[in-house]
């Protein structure tokens, strides 16, 4: 059963029936702790976020209220280690919880991903990487400050790395520069498509540390949390896109912004090491779209059964062509779930070549597949189902955006799979 009305009363929210989990804990062998965290996300998505999603989308408004609820439920700290007050979820648990949120509000799930990555990358992922003891001790102290802000104050972090050129695709060093000065850095640059702009408390900026006269190098990438209210930070441009409208992904400008040393989310060199040794870090944009694929399928089944709230109880399920389309959607959905579940389950440092190729394939399958399922849903449900009073057309528009997310766009996944399947590292035909 889908919910469409905005502004549900608390009583009505209590009465909303929960959908079955996308990944049944028994069938997918999730433990009780994982299942409980994922159930919290699913419950919040189903009972609260689903009814707010249409308004955020219509007004291209950031889901501020959802963030307050995420904070209250402990989900802003989902990937923060338990010793720092978080839920201590691993990569797989986070990914499945994010899919459940994406099922009900794509923009909330996608922006929550940017926030969670600041803790996932600085937390469990950084723990897998090489640092000498004193650097690790410094990192521990610094991340404790970020984690405290999130757990205690509900601080929201974003993750602007796109600049419009080859940097976000992983090809060259970021053009946003951090010049080392006493006690920190001076940051100058520009980030486009910066989700949560104007709404995050800290912008987790990827930039290149570059001293006077040095050449920019990807090895010198820094990951710095700039307070949104610091002098020299501004948000410009409008935001009126096709889909994912609640992400508010405007342009950020940094003009001579002083950033103190303790703003670093990762020590020097560790982001580059992560990008080389923990490639699944870039698969975290996909859970939202797995959720959208499930949502398009769920809607279709409910609609053809004549069970969508707010629509006449007209059944359409008896037509063979519609049954075939549902079968195709179910097959596609299970294919996405299977490859994606395997990829998020095996995510770790130093994956094998096969695991990396599978991660690209999982990303491609989720990003393109979600929109394929939504396209079939629109065709199969028919004209009355694509009205803006129902969620399907939003799911369709949101799902179209997945393939565009750098660095693993659908095109770049194809490029990489083809090249890396045919060539070993260092091989050429010359
Ligand atoms: C809803 C939404 C939210 C987003 N939120 C964020 C966010 O929070 N943070 C963030 O950093 N980004 C975010 N993005 C940006 C996203 O990750 C991409 O960076 C953006 O969509 C790229 O737009 P573009 O027009 O510059 O793309 P493109 O022009 O397609 O790509 C940019 C550059 O990448 C390289 N490139 C692209 N395709 C190829 C190819 N096939 N082969 C070789 N090189 C290639 C080229 O140098 C190209 O100039 C968001 C995007 C959307 C749609």
pLDDT digits (tens, 9 = 90+) for 300-310: 999 999 999 88
For 37-50, what is each residue's pLDDT tens digit?
999 999 999 999 99
Give the Å distance between the CA of 161 and the centre of ligand 1. Answer: 10
174 lines ligand 1 (CB under 6 A): no
Token look-up 């094998």 returns 352
Average pLDDT over residues 357-382: 98
Count of beta carbons in the 10 Å neighbourhood of residue 197: 26
pLDDT tier for residue 12 given thresholds of 50, 70 and 90: low
Average pLDDT over residues 290-312: 96
- How many whole angstroms separate alpha carbon 63 and alpha carbon 92? 25
Average pLDDT over residues 260-266: 96
Q: In angstroms, what is the C-alpha Rg of the chain?
A: 21
Give the Å distance between the CA of 169 and the centre of ligand 1. Answer: 7
Q: Is the pLDDT of residue 3 over 60?
A: no
412 lines ligand 1 (CB under 6 A): yes
Which residue puts its alpha carbon closest to atom 9 of ligand 1?
A: 160
117 lines ligand 1 (CB under 6 A): no
For 121-168, what is each residue's pLDDT tens digit?
999 999 999 999 999 999 999 999 999 999 999 999 999 999 999 999
- How many whole angstroms separate alpha carbon 285 and alpha carbon 10? 31
121 lines ligand 1 (CB under 6 A): no
194 lines ligand 1 (CB under 6 A): yes
Give the Å distance between the CA of 261 and the centre of ligand 1. Answer: 29
Q: Is the pLDDT of residue 9 over 70?
A: no
Report yes or no: 206 and 20 within 8 Å, Cβ to Cβ: no
Angle between helices 106-120 and 91-104 (to 10 degrees): 160
> For residue 13, what pLDDT is reported?
65
Average pLDDT over residues 413-425: 97
166 lines ligand 1 (CB under 6 A): yes
Q: Kindly report the average pLDDT of the chain as a whole number.
A: 96
Give the Å distance between the CA of 397 and the centre of ligand 1. Answer: 17
169 lines ligand 1 (CB under 6 A): yes
114 lines ligand 1 (CB under 6 A): yes
CA distances from residue 229 to 142, 247, 407 in whole angstroms, order as listed: 20, 19, 28
404 lines ligand 1 (CB under 6 A): yes
249 lines ligand 1 (CB under 6 A): yes
The candidate with the shortest Cα–Cα distance to 397, out of 307, 289, 315, 259, is: 289
> For residue 5, what pLDDT is reported?
40
This prediction has a pTM of 0.96
User: Among 160, 168, 250, 408, which is best to mutate for testing ligand 1, by the most ligand atoms less than 8 A from CB?
Assistant: 168
Give the Å distance between the CA of 369 and the centre of ligand 1. Answer: 19
Give the Å distance between the CA of 285 and the centre of ligand 1. Answer: 13
pLDDT tier for residue 59 given thresholds of 50, 70 and 90: very high
Which residue puts its alpha carbon closest to atom 8 of ligand 1?
A: 195
Give the Å distance between the CA of 172 and the centre of ligand 1. Answer: 14
Which residue puts its alpha carbon closest to atom 12 of ligand 1?
A: 162
Atom of ligand 1 nearest to the CA of 407: 17
Atom of ligand 1 nearest to the CA of 158: 8
- How many whole angstroms separate alpha carbon 116 and alpha carbon 204? 11
161 lines ligand 1 (CB under 6 A): yes
């Amino acid at each position: 059963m889908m919910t469409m009305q905005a502004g549900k009363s608390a009583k009505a929210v209590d009465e909303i029936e929960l959908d079955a989990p996308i990944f049944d804990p028994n069938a997918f062998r999730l433990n009780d702790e994982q299942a409980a965290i994922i159930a919290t996300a699913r419950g919040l998505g189903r009972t609260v976020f689903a009814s707010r999603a249409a308004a955020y989308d219509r007004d291209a408004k950031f889901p501020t209220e959802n963030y307050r609820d995420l904070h209250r439920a402990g989900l802003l700290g989902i990937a923060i280690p338990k010793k720092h007050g978080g839920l201590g979820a691993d990569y797989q648990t986070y990914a499945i919880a994010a899919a459940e949120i994406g099922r009900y509000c794509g923009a909330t799930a996608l922006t929550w991903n940017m926030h969670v990555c600041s803790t996932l990358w600085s937390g469990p992922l950084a723990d897998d990487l090489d640092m000498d003891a004193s650097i690790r001790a410094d990192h521990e102290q610094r991340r404790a400050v970020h984690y405290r802000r999130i757990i205690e104050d509900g601080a929201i972090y974003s993750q602007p790395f796109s600049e419009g050129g080859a940097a976000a695709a992983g090809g060259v060093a970021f053009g946003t520069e951090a010049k080392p000065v006493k006690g920190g850095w001076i940051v100058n640059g520009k980030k486009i498509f910066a989700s949560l702009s104007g709404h995050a408390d800290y912008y987790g900026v990827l930039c290149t540390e570059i001293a006077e006269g040095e050449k920019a190098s990807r090895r010198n990438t820094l990951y710095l949390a700039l307070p949104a209210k610091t002098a020299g930070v501004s948000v410009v441009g409008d935001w009126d896109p096709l889909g994912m409208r609640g992400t508010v992904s405007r342009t950020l400008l940094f003009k001579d912004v002083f950033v103190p040393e303790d703003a670093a989310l990762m020590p020097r060199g560790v982001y580059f090491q992560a990008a080389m040794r923990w490639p699944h870090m870039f698969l975290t944009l996909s859970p939202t779209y797995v959720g959208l694929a499930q949502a398009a399928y769920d809607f279709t089944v409910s609609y053809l059964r004549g069970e969508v709230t707010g629509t006449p109880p007209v059944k359409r399920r008896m037509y063979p062509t519609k049954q075939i389309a549902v079968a195709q959607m179910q097959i596609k959905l299970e294919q996405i779930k299977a490859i994606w579940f395997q990829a998020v389950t095996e995510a770790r440092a130093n994956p094998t070549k096969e695991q990396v190729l599978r991660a690209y394939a999982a990303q491609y399958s989720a990003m393109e597949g979600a929109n394929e399922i939504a396209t079939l849903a629109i065709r199969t449900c028919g004209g009355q189902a694509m009205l803006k009073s129902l969620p399907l057309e939003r799911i369709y528009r949101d799902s179209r955006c997945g393939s565009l997310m750098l660095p693993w766009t659908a095109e770049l996944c194809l490029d990489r799979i083809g090249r890396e399947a045919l060539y070993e590292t260092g091989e050429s035909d010359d």
